[in-house]
Amino acid sequence: MIKATINNVDIEVPEGTNILWAAKKAGFTIPTLCNHPDLEPGGQCGICVVEIEGIPGLKRACMTPIGEGFKVRTHTPRVMATRKQLVELILSNHDTDCLTCVKNNNCELQQLAATLGINVLDYPKFEEKLPIDHTSVSIVRDPNKCILCGRCIQVCSKVQTVNALAVNHRGCDTLITTAFDAGLGNSVCINCGQCVVHCPVGALYERSAAEEVWEAIHDPDKFVVVQEAPAVRVMLGEEFGMPTGSLVSGKMHAALRRLGFDAVLETNFTADLTIMEEGTELISRLTSGKNLPLITSCSPGWIKFMETFYHDMIPHMSTAKSPQQMFGALAKTYYAQVKGIDPAKIVSVSIMPCTAKKFECQRPEMNASGYQDVDYVLTTREIGRMMREAGLDIKEMPDEPPDDILGEYTGAATIFGATGGVMEAAVRSAYRLVTGKELEDVEIKPVRGLKGIKEAEIDIEGTKVKVAVAHSCGQARELLDKVQDQIAKDGKSEYQFIEVMACPGGCVGGGGQSWGSNMAKRARRGESLYEEDRSLPLRRSHENPSVLAIYEKFLEKPNSEKAHKLLHTHYYKRSAVDGKILPG
């Protein structure tokens, strides 16, 4: 332990603690723009400078470990003047059209300028208007808003190991951009949106579909159905100032009806359906011993990562579509048939915590209904803005259930939004499918939580099934490298079933979540999903009566020919240079 003082306040912290975090122990928040609690400090912005008695010059608090006996000053006249000068220099080369910026009122630079009392710039504005990158179907990149903090690069390279972004040029010409400045849509970007979540300003944001959805809602000739992902119900409240992880399932349904959607349904329904399809697929592979381990396929960012960097693992992927795409296919077939609606008039909208879902719905194979199965994807942030535009406040909404047919769900579906949730839900039903008995304790806690790669061994009446769970593509890379080495060496892997989610924490950490997210918030959202699971009368996917009905009336049985046509898919090999589909 190290003893020191910060602004005359005595502290004791573990050796190696940087001054930024040591100051928090003393009750002082040192401002910064480049630092993020989930990323390694980089010291790019320099705003966290402090003075240390007896040590010449200013030191960056995020990069400087506190030493024994240090006497640190965090807001001397020199420190305060330097911080203000640095922020003014950033603002002098920043597009400050704040009122039309997507991050208005959520921008860390805007908040810092207000905190430091910067009302007039002492430096002339120098703005060279650069073209905005619209090449991606999911993410827009505006270099005019970029402050070169490097957070996007760090999360893309260190956490996701995708390396779609890098620093180009030097000096005043420095830019954060893609290889050859070709644009995100022509890079290996997997559309996960972690760069968006970690950007402190409005340099990265989702490509919005709000106007198209408004147009569909206002068109009397269209029947607009909406589905909401499991994770949205524990994130939407944050858009309206509610505590992190507030569960707003019923309020969300009520608000969506008042927004003007013709049918308010549930992605959770097709999450239950996914378990039936994927669980049956797992049992088939366990029986045959072929293409094990089976790897889950719900996360579109992970799917593109696999197609780009690990396409030799395609035979191991579950062919089951994600719940979003299963819903889209059924909305324009089964739902249209039952309701007597012309599928050509149905507009299918999904609300997701995920920017990669915008890419997924436009994949060329996602048209099993004869139409584009999902027409538009809105992030949690987008639907929050639409609700505010309509004068709705989620806090004031009553609790209402979703509509019927594609709306009923179990607790197993809800936990899809947390890392390990798909695995847990699958095991709950796989046990029944194999043994004919119900799993007594449905809570499989070894696959829960935010620690690194999680492992568990499930005993299904004497059959040992070893499973693994990874969240973030960096963890997926580590796990797949291990699997590939095992297969090369022994001809098989120690695992039979693997769950991968592209985003840290799973869908509760998706790229479309509310601004200002970190791992602590993601953990709280996940706990709220488990709380809803415990509160529901049905907690196993195979108990969902609407799922049983759709098999009886329409799909026949899990993995039937009709189910394969509507609910299963295939994958492509992609270039590790630009992410494009490779021939063959």
Tokens 């908040």 belong to: 111
556 in catalytic set: no
Residue spans of the domains in the chain: they are 2-90, 210-567
From the candidates 507, 517, 521, 528, give the one annotated as an active-site residue.
Answer: 507
Query: Residue 505 and residue 499: Cα distance in Å, rounded?
Result: 12
User: Which of 138, 297, 318, 517 is labelled catalytic?
Assistant: 318
543: helix, strand or coil: helix
* DSSP code string of 168-208: ES-GGG-EEE-GGG--GGGSS-----HHHHH-SSSSEEE--
* DSSP per-residue codes, 462-520: TEEEEEEEEESHHHHHHHHHHHHHHHHHHSS-S-SEEEEESSTTGGGG-TTS-SS--HH
Tell me if residue 400 is catalytic.
Answer: no
- What is 210-567's CATH topology? Rossmann fold (3.40.50)
State how far the Cα of 329 lies from the Cα of 335, in Å rounded to an integer.
Answer: 9
Yes or no: say if 239 and 379 are a contact pair by the CB < 8 Å rule: no
Phi then psi dihedrals of residue 379, to 5 deg: -80, 170
Active-site position among 298, 361, 473, 503: 298
Query: Residue 134 to residues 104, 141, 194, 205, 425: CA-CA distances in angstroms?
Result: 20, 7, 17, 11, 38
Q: Which of 266, 514, 473 is nearest to 385 (CA)?
A: 514
71-73/49-52 β-pairing: antiparallel
Annotated catalytic, 281?
yes
- 2-90 classified as CATH 3.10.20.740: yes
Task: From first to last of the 584 residues of the chain, give the pLDDT tens digit.
Answer: 999 999 999 999 999 999 999 999 999 999 999 999 999 998 999 999 999 999 999 999 999 999 999 999 999 999 999 999 999 999 999 998 999 999 999 999 999 999 999 988 888 888 788 999 999 999 999 999 999 999 999 999 999 999 999 999 888 889 999 998 999 999 999 999 999 999 999 999 999 999 999 999 999 999 999 999 999 999 999 999 999 999 999 999 999 999 999 999 999 999 999 999 999 999 999 989 899 999 998 999 999 999 999 999 999 999 999 999 999 999 999 999 999 999 999 999 999 999 999 999 999 999 999 999 999 999 999 999 999 999 999 999 999 999 999 999 999 999 999 999 999 999 999 888 888 888 888 999 999 999 889 999 988 877 889 999 999 999 999 999 999 999 999 999 999 999 999 999 999 999 999 998 899 999 999 999 999 999 999 999 999 999 999 999 999 999 999 999 999 999 999 999 999 999 97
Catalytic residue among 365, 438, 494, 561: 365
Residues contacting 399, CB < 8 A, separation 6+: 249, 250, 251, 253, 254
48 classed as catalytic: no
Q: Is 365 a catalytic residue?
A: yes
The verdict on whether 278 is a catalytic residue reads yes
196 Cβ neighbours under 8 A, 6+ residues apart: 139, 204, 205, 206, 355, 511, 512
Question: What residues contact 444, with CB distance under 8 A and at least 6 apart?
Answer: 420, 423, 424, 427, 428, 456, 458
Tokens found for residue 257? 């009806």
Q: Which of 321, 357, 358, 454 is catalytic?
A: 357
Query: What does the DSSP 8-state code read for residue 75?
Result: S
68 is catalytic: no
* Cα 126 to the center of its chain, rounded Å: 35
306: alpha, beta or left, given left = phi > 0 and alpha = psi -120 to 50? Answer: alpha
Q: At what angle do helices 323-331 and 267-288 cross, to 10 degrees?
A: 110
Catalytic residue among 238, 278, 382, 543: 278
CB atoms within 10 A of CB 100: 8
Residue type, 444: I
Catalytic residue among 238, 277, 281, 424: 281
The two counts, helices (H) then strands (E), for the chain are: 19, 17
C-beta of residue 128 within 8 angstroms of C-beta of residue 173: no
